[in-house]
Structures are given as structure tokens and as C-alpha cells.
């Protein structure tokens, strides 16, 4: 009896404990999409990593955008007035991008950087974008750009800034600490170190209180800058009029996970993937329609923002919202790559052998058919089911025979054009050679004998008065040298005089 009571007591305790753990207050439950609590943790998060794969620059009101694709190559679109879309041939292994007004800067996996485009003076006169020689030898951890300015953070946490400005932004102060991230434009540079402290230099900084040790991410607008604090709120500093136009919006923000800025633009991504933003004309209402946003990147010198959605596709906003979104390349996805496989896995001519035997890497083939064959069935099979086919310029279905008819005597090239999912094109050619009829050499008029009529017709062919068909040419070319000339006339005269 005592044993039964003991078991009941134990079961009662277990039931109570179970009820306690299933009734934990919501506020104590694990937070959805928690905000990383240190600058280094934030820099390693998807919010920062994916934002660094998108860069927007604007020159003379015209935006350009660059993104890193899943295979480490770069996709660009938009304005190319200053060469900002001229990605160096063969560039690969890219992990981050930054953009100035007229240039683009890329950070590779090996810690080197590559840049292209132009820097602009106040009248938008361009000069080639260059990277200082001493920077080229450094191992770089992160990059930033805006306007005419560029900045890098080395693996050692040191900062190098270069570019053309009148605010001494290129003069880096001492005592920055171990810098994790930079944000920059023509008016300000903002450095965030691993202790959560920021240093701002350039124009009137107007740094708000309460940031020391509390910042996890930073962003630069046109003449203002933003700091994301580890409690999910945002602070703003910079030129007073721009701060004033954004202050109420920034003060209202909470539960923020990512930030970006532009000319009088401030935008924030919340934990639930929604977005809010404000610009010089007020709230950016189109942001309210966005959801499932994973990262965001803006142009410090304009009102243009590019946003990454959770499915890897892109959306964005500019002064002309429709035009920016319509310019994003169709099918672009930062998580997955469109297939570039434009190979065939099979190519066959029904009833006849191709020479050489089919090999996906070989694109040129030949096949012989008798003279009485005027059409053939050709079947092509794509190696990738997402690739499309054209045979002799007309859409075809992979694995389904297509009839090619009206074969002429001699060579008939049949082209098989394969277009991969990403637009890569590969062309295979199968030349079908229809045999000549059994024509007697010299019997140009095909009456079964070689006589003076054949001599006359051959002379007219030599003089260009008659255009022979393939059979007539074959018969008139008595010496089979591929040409009809006076020697053939002599041979046919002799055949007519001395028939065999």
C-alpha cells in the first residue's frame, strides 16, 4: 500500500512539473529572429551577410545596382554612364559589394578587392575609379562606399579610407579599436568596433547619447547616419535638418533587425520581415506592402533601396518605384543559381548513324542518306529539363522527333539550338548529306548517253549561261575536281567521240 502511495506522489509531482513548463509566459519563450547582441555576431548574421551582397549607387539621379549571386559572380543593372556596370571579365569568388555614385567595389573570398567605374567631381565629370596601391596588398574583412568615398576594414580591424571630398572624411582618427563595420558617404564616416562603440567623423556629427557599448549595426544616409542598438531601437545622427526630418520616424522604431539610409531616407526591417521607411516627402507607403524581407541595402546619395526577400528574390523602391522593380533581371535569385547547362544528352537521326558517335561535348556531326530520301526525323534530348530547344530555328520538344524535310541533294545543315535556364546558348549542327542520283559522268542532260548535246550544255555552264542543278553539275564535272571548266569540256568531247 505504501508503495502505491509513493508512486502516486511521484506521478503528481511529475504532472505539476509538466504543467509548469508548458505554461511559461510568452515573454519568456524563445524570441523569433533574435537580434544578435554584439557587432561581431551581427556581422556574421544573415541580416548583415546578405545586405553586404547588395549594393546600390546613384549618380545624377540614376541608380545602378550590383548583387552577388550564389556562385560568387556579380549581376549588375541600371545606369552605366560612368562604367559602374562594367564588371571585370572573369570576376568570381566575390562575397560582398559596395557602391559609390559612379563606381562599384567588390570584396573577394581571398580578402582582395576589385573596383570599376568612375569617381565624379561636383560637375559630374568622371575620372577612373582606382584603389590605392597600399590597399591592394591588404587582406580585407569588409568594405563600404558612398558618393566618391571608399573604406575598407582589414582583418586586423584597421580602417583605410580614400576618395574625393571636402569634409576630411579620408582622415581616419586614431583609437577606433577593433573595427567590425564601416558606413561612409561624402559627408561622414562611421566606424563600429567590437565593443559596440561607434566613432563618427566628417561633417557635424551630432552624435546622440547612450550609444556606447550598445550598437550592433550602422548605416550611412546622405547627410545623416543610423545606429541599430542591441535592444532593437535605432538612433540617428548627422546634419541637423536631415536628422530632424527623420527623427520622429526613427524614435518610433522598435524590434528592428536591419537598417539602411539614403538622402533623407531611413528604412528598417523588423523581426517579422516587414519594412517601414521615411523619405523627404514623408512615409514610404510602398514599404508597407513588403513582407518576408531578409536584408536591405540603400544608396547613401539617393532615395533608392534594394531588398532581399526570404525566397532569395529581390524587390526595391526608388523615386520611381515601378521602374526600379521592372529593371531587376528576371529570375534573379541570390539563394539559387539558374542552370547554365545547355548540353544535349542525346542526338539521333532515325535510321541513320551520326558521325562521330554522339558526345555532349562535340557539337558537329554528319550523316549520309540515299538520294531517294527527302526527309529525316531528328531527336534531341536536353541534359537539363529546364533547357529549351529549337531545331532549324523552330521550337522543339526534348525527346520528341522533329521531321526535317525537303532535303536537297548534297549537304543539309540541321541546327539544334539549346538555351539553358540562365540564357546560355549552345548550338549543335548535324549535316545530313543526301546522295546524288546515279548520273553518268559527262551525261549533263541525263539522257543516258554522252553526246554533242552534253558538250554544248557544258560549254554554256562554263560560260555562265546555265546555272546547273546538283545532278547536272556532278555530270559536267567530268574530272571530279569540284569545278566545271574547259578541261571538263575536253573530257566530255572525248567521251562523246570515244564512247565506252
Average pLDDT, the chain: 87
Residues 476 and 414 in one domain: no
For residues 203 and 355, which has the higher predicted lDDT (pLDDT)?
A: 355
Q: Per the structure, how many domains does the chain have?
A: 3
Phi, psi of 189 (to 5 degrees): -130, 135
Residues 420 and 470 in one domain: no
In the sheet where 344-349 sits, what is the strand order? 344-349, 376-382, 402-404
The single residue listed with the C-alpha cell 502516486 is: 8
Q: Is residue 130 part of a domain?
A: yes
Q: Who's near 418: CB < 8 A, 6+ residues apart?
A: 342, 343, 344, 380, 382, 387, 388, 389, 425, 426, 427, 428
User: What was the pLDDT predicted at 453?
Assistant: 92
Predicted confidence (pLDDT) at residue 177 exceeds the cutoff of 90: yes
What pLDDT, in 10s, does the model give residues 324-338?
777 888 888 898 877
- 186 neighbors 170 (Cβ within 8 angstroms): no
Q: In this prediction, what percent of the chain has a pLDDT beyond 70?
A: 90
Residues 129 and 57 in one domain: yes
Q: Who's near 24: CB < 8 A, 6+ residues apart?
A: none
- 454: which 3 cell numbers? 552534253
User: Considering 434, 466, 484, which residue would you say is the last residue of a domain?
Assistant: 434
Residues 180 and 253 in one domain: yes
What mean pLDDT comes out for the span 419-429? 93
Highest mean pLDDT: which of 16-25, 258-267, 339-348? 339-348
Residues 228 and 261 in one domain: yes
Residues 272 and 200 in one domain: yes
For residues 73 and 439, which has the higher predicted lDDT (pLDDT)?
A: 73
Containing structural domain, residue 393: 344-434
What pLDDT, in 10s, does the model give residues 189-216?
999 999 999 999 988 777 888 899 999 9
Residues 468 and 400 in one domain: no
The single residue listed with the C-alpha cell 561622414 is: 188
What pLDDT, in 10s, does the model give residues 452-464?
998 999 899 999 9
Residues 411 and 458 in one domain: no
Residues 118 and 222 in one domain: yes
Q: Is residue 7 part of a domain?
A: no
Task: Residue 366: give its domain's CATH number.
Answer: 2.60.40
CA proximity to 470, closest of 419, 407, 389: 407
What pLDDT, in 10s, does the model give residues 240-276?
777 887 888 889 999 999 999 887 788 899 999 998 8
Q: Is residue 204 part of a domain?
A: yes
User: Considering 301, 327, 353, which residue would you say is the last residue of a domain?
Assistant: 327
Q: Is residue 205 part of a domain?
A: yes
Q: Is residue 31 part of a domain?
A: no
Q: Is residue 375 part of a domain?
A: yes
User: What was the pLDDT predicted at 500?
Assistant: 61
Residues 363 and 292 in one domain: no
Amino acid at each position: 500500500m505504501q508503495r502505491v502511495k509513493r508512486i502516486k506522489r511521484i506521478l503528481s509531482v511529475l504532472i505539476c512539473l509538466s504543467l509548469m513548463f508548458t505554461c511559461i509566459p510568452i515573454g519568456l519563450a524563445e524570441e523569433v529572429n533574435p537580434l544578435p547582441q554584439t557587432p561581431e555576431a551581427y556581422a556574421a548574421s544573415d541580416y548583415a551577410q546578405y545586405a553586404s551582397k547588395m549594393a546600390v549607387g546613384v549618380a545624377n539621379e540614376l541608380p545602378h545596382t550590383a548583387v552577388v549571386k550564389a556562385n560568387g559572380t556579380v549581376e549588375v543593372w541600371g545606369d552605366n554612364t560612368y562604367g559602374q556596370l562594367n564588371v571585370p571579365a572573369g570576376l568570381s569568388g566575390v562575397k560582398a559589394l559596395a557602391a559609390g555614385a559612379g563606381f562599384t567595389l567588390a570584396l573577394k573570398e581571398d580578402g582582395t578587392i576589385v573596383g570599376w567605374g568612375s569617381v565624379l567631381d561636383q560637375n559630374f565629370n568622371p575620372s577612373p575609379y582606382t584603389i590605392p596601391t597600399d590597399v591592394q596588398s591588404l587582406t580585407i574583412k569588409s568594405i563600404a562606399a558612398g558618393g566618391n568615398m571608399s573604406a575598407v576594414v582589414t582583418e586586423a580591424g584597421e580602417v583605410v579610407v580614400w576618395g574625393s571630398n571636402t569634409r576630411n572624411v579620408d582622415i581616419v582618427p586614431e583609437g577606433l579599436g577593433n573595427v567590425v563595420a564601416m558606413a561612409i558617404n561624402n559627408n561622414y564616416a562611421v566606424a563600429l568596433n567590437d565593443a559596440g562603440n561607434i566613432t563618427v567623423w566628417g561633417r557635424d556629427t551630432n552624435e546622440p547619447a547612450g550609444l556606447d557599448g550598445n550598437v550592433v549595426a550602422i548605416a550611412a544616409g546622405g547627410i545623416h547616419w543610423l545606429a541599430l542598438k542591441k535592444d532593437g531601437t535605432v538612433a540617428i545622427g548627422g546634419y541637423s535638418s536631415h536628422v530632424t526630418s527623420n527623427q520622429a520616424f526613427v524614435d518610433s522604431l522598435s524590434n528592428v533587425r536591419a537598417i539602411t539610409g539614403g538622402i533623407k531616407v531611413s528604412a528598417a526591417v523588423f523581426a517579422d520581415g516587414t519594412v517601414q521607411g521615411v523619405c523627404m516627402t514623408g512615409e514610404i507607403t510602398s514599404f508597407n506592402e513588403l513582407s518576408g524581407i531578409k536584408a536591405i541595402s540603400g544608396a547613401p546619395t539617393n532615395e533608392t533601396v534594394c531588398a532581399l526577400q526570404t525566397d532569395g528574390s529581390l524587390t526595391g523602391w526608388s523615386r520611381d518605384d515601378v521602374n526600379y522593380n521592372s529593371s531587376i533581371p528576371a529570375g534573379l535569385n541570390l539563394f539559387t543559381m539558374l542552370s547554365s547547362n545547355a548540353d544535349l544528352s542525346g542526338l539521333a537521326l532515325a535510321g541513320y548513324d551520326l558521325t562521330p558517335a554522339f558526345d555532349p561535348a562535340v557539337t558537329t556531326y554528319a550523316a549520309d542518306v540515299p538520294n531517294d530520301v527527302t526527309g529525316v526525323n531528328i531527336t534531341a534530348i536536353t541534359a537539363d529539363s529546364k533547357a529549351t530547344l529549337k531545331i532549324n530555328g523552330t521550337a522543339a520538344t526534348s525527346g520528341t522527333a522533329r521531321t526535317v524535310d525537303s532535303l536537297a541533294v548534297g549537304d543539309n545543315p540541321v541546327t539544334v539550338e539549346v538555351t539553358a535556364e540562365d540564357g546560355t546558348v549552345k548550338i549543335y549542327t548535324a549535316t545530313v548529306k543526301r546522295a546524288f542520283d546515279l548520273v553518268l559522268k559527262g551525261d549533263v542532260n541525263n539522257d543516258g548517253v554522252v553526246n554533242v548535246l552534253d558538250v554544248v550544255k557544258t560549254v554554256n555552264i562554263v560560260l555562265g549561261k546555265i546555272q546547273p542543278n546538283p545532278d547536272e553539275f556532278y555530270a559536267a564535272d567530268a574530272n571530279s575536281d569540284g569545278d566545271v571548266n574547259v578541261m571538263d569540256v575536253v573530257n566530255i568531247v572525248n567521251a562523246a567521240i570515244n564512247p565506252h
